[in-house]
Chain A
Amino acid sequence: MQPYIKHTSIAALMDRSNVDTDQIIPKNFMKKVERTGFGINLFHNWRYLADNITPNPEFELNKPAFKGAKILVAGENFGCGSSREHAPWAIADYGFNTIISTSFADIFFSNCFKNSILPVVVTDEQLASLMAEISANEGVEFTVDLEAQKVTTPGGLSISFEVDAFRKESLLDGLDDIAWTLKHEEQISAYEAAQRKRLPWLWPSA
């Protein structure tokens, strides 16, 4: 996994709540057996006109000012619905590595960390301020510093955010989750041996 590095980037504004994973990547684009190439269909149904090719000029992310944005600022309950990891794959493939909102759906939140995407939870007031700053100055660049757990803006906002210590470390170092867990092989084996005795019907008879 790519380590997450402090960066200053354009922040794109998506003033919508309950953005579900069906919008992030519609099901017709989930048939691939690879992890890559989903970015072109990110927000497909909003992003393109009826011909499925022409960018919809009314869709916010199609604004020239948001081109190259790495930070997405969006309304509450982002990523609700289907568990599809194709959603964070599409987001990362498009170029975002940070999403700022007041709340995220559980599975999506967890999927982000597996794909070097930092979901930042802020308060209602903080979100309103961030959104106002983007609206007033589209193309504005924010700085996200995971190490210091801080988002700063040219408008003078300095917002501290919480992040689970282990997840932070994994993002900063680009750690392989499975490798970390397998360091606990001894405990897993011991658990399995005990469960075989306690609940033998869960195991194939030897």
Chain B
Amino acid sequence: MTRTMYEKIWDANLVHEPEAGSPLLFVDRHLMHEVTSPQAFEGLRLQNRKVRNVHSILGTIDHCVPTKDRFNIVDVIAKKQVETMTANCEENEINLYGMDSNQNGVIHIVVPEHGFVHPGMVVCCGDSHTATHGAFGALAFGIGTSEVEHVMATQTLQQKKAKTMLVKVEGKLPAFSTAKDIALAIIAKTGTAGGTGYVMEFAGNTITDLTMEGRMTLCNMAIEAGARAGLVAPDQVTFDYLEGKEFAPKGDEWPVAVEYWKSLVSDQGATFDAVIELKAEDIAPQVSWGTSPEQVISVTGVVPSPSDFTNEVKSQACANALKYMALEPGQKITDIHIDVVFIGSCTNGRIEDFRAAAELLKGKKVADGVQAFAVPGSFPVKVQAEKEGLDKIFVDAGWEWRDPGCSMCLAMNGDELEDGQRSASTSNRNFEGRQGKGGRTHLVSPAMAAAASVAGHFVDIRDWK
């Protein structure tokens, strides 16, 4: 019997499958942040239950952290959340890269930096962008707070087996197109519910050509296609990234681990419940125009009209989005002017992202009236970027160079759009109000965001000087 990678990981982590009830899946790694965990700790206390495997948990504080004057959290409720996280981790002896740690940053950036996730693991976190870690060939998905409590108490989850979808991307990406553009192009094709009930495996030579950073960006957005998780088969790129990292297997265990990881890839001829294919050549730099990550088009395109959609629901969604976004059908994407530019988040807050943006910003200046800020995903990313002199390029171009955090991806920390402001953002969601009530978000890659900051509107970076 041939099996897909998802099925192999499922089988390896299946603790028990009772005749009546739910299968129990073993959780190898549990990631934590301050927003979705306090009620879970409280639940444990009320029931007098203990954290089962403390070593399986790694925590950080990221959602509420100011990116300027970071210790000065003015919002008292947010401050309490940060203090509660710190106290809960201390009480339970959980490894926390807290506010005062030089390893602090966005959970999905920090965890890979330490080699905490390996191929074949089941990884969960009270955060939908846990999907990021599928880049390592780990089954990684977001859970609710009740499940956070369940994992702490039992090290398992009650899970139903998902269907499998193969997303195959072949060919060479056009210049300046990135993993972010692949992700957006896939979501444009599947829709935000297209992946519901599925685990997506990304395959094809375009995917294997991606760096680990690129694979993380891609898997990060699997949730935006509705998928429970995204997966990329582990290969030499994965092994090279992991080798030597703090939590990676060492010494004699390393080759044993690598052999095991190699055995996890989908078997030749394994069947998937659904298959979709994309040609890399077709993926130009993408820009979202609406209020859902599926409302995306190439930078060369125009804003669609509700009448372009035969599906009534999508047509209505288009009309609603255009109203909220204050856009007209037929408007060229490159004519859309922006007020704020944000580079950062668990989608695009890695060193590669800042390098790509800096490349375009060298010797340039931010357009009049545009506010631009760069938020590295973690302190290690920030330190590395500064070592390479990237911070100077940003600052010289008129950008703000901030401290790490989730920042304006979800705008919980005070970094937010004002009513009616329009952003070019490297984050993952363009929902109404996501970046501030009345704020209008366009999702793009870091290079597209950088160019937009200089031009004041979107540009096709392929022929931009």
Residues of A with Cβ closer than 8 Å to B?
A: 16-18, 20, 22-23, 26-28, 30-35, 45, 50, 75-77, 80-85, 88, 103-107, 110-111, 114-115, 164-166, 177-178, 180-182, 184, 187-188, 191-192, 195, 199-204
Contacts and interface: CB of A to CB of B under 8 A. Distances in A.
B410 A27 contact: yes
A165 B145 CA distance: 23
Contacts of B147: 110-111, 114
A105 B145 CA distance: 16
Query: Nearest 5 pairs between A and B by C-beta?
Result: A85-B144, A83-B142, A114-B146, A111-B144, A33-B38
Contact of A26 (B77, B84, B433): B433
Contact of A81 (B249, B253, B431): B431
B289 to A, nearest CB: 15
Given A20-B431, A166-B20, A106 B228 contact: yes
B7 interface: no
A191 B260 contact: no
Interface of B: 15-16, 18, 20-22, 24, 26, 28, 35-36, 38-39, 42, 47, 49, 53, 55, 64, 75, 77-78, 80-81, 84, 118, 121, 126-128, 130, 141-147, 149-150, 153-156, 158, 160, 192-193, 196-197, 226, 228, 249-250, 253, 257, 260, 292, 313, 316-317, 320, 410-412, 419, 429, 431-434, 437
A81 B84 CA distance: 25
Contacts of A30: 35, 412
Contacts of A33: 38-39, 42, 80-81, 84
B196 A106 contact: yes
Given A33-B42, A103-B193, A106-B197, A85 B16 contact: no
Nearest to A26: B433
19 contacts: A17-B316, A17-B317, A18-B292, A22-B429, A23-B431, A23-B433, A26-B437, A27-B412, A30-B412, A34-B42, A75-B313, A76-B193, A76-B313, A80-B226, A85-B39, A104-B196, A181-B156, A182-B154, A188-B24
Nearest to B321: A18
Contacts of B160: 164
Contact of B226 (A50, A105, A195): A105
A22 B433 contact: yes
Interface core residue of A23, A27, A165, A184 (most chain B CB under 10 Å): A27
A140 to B, nearest CB: 23
A20 B147 CA distance: 20
Contact of B150 (A107, A181, A192, A199): A181
B410 A80 contact: no
A82 to B, nearest CB: 5
A111 B144 CA distance: 6
A22 B434 contact: yes
A23 B156 CA distance: 30
Given A33-B80, A75-B313, A178-B49, A83 B127 contact: yes
A182 B412 contact: no
Contact of B196 (A77, A115, A204): A77
A84 B344 CA distance: 21
Contact of A31 (B49, B121, B144, B412): B412
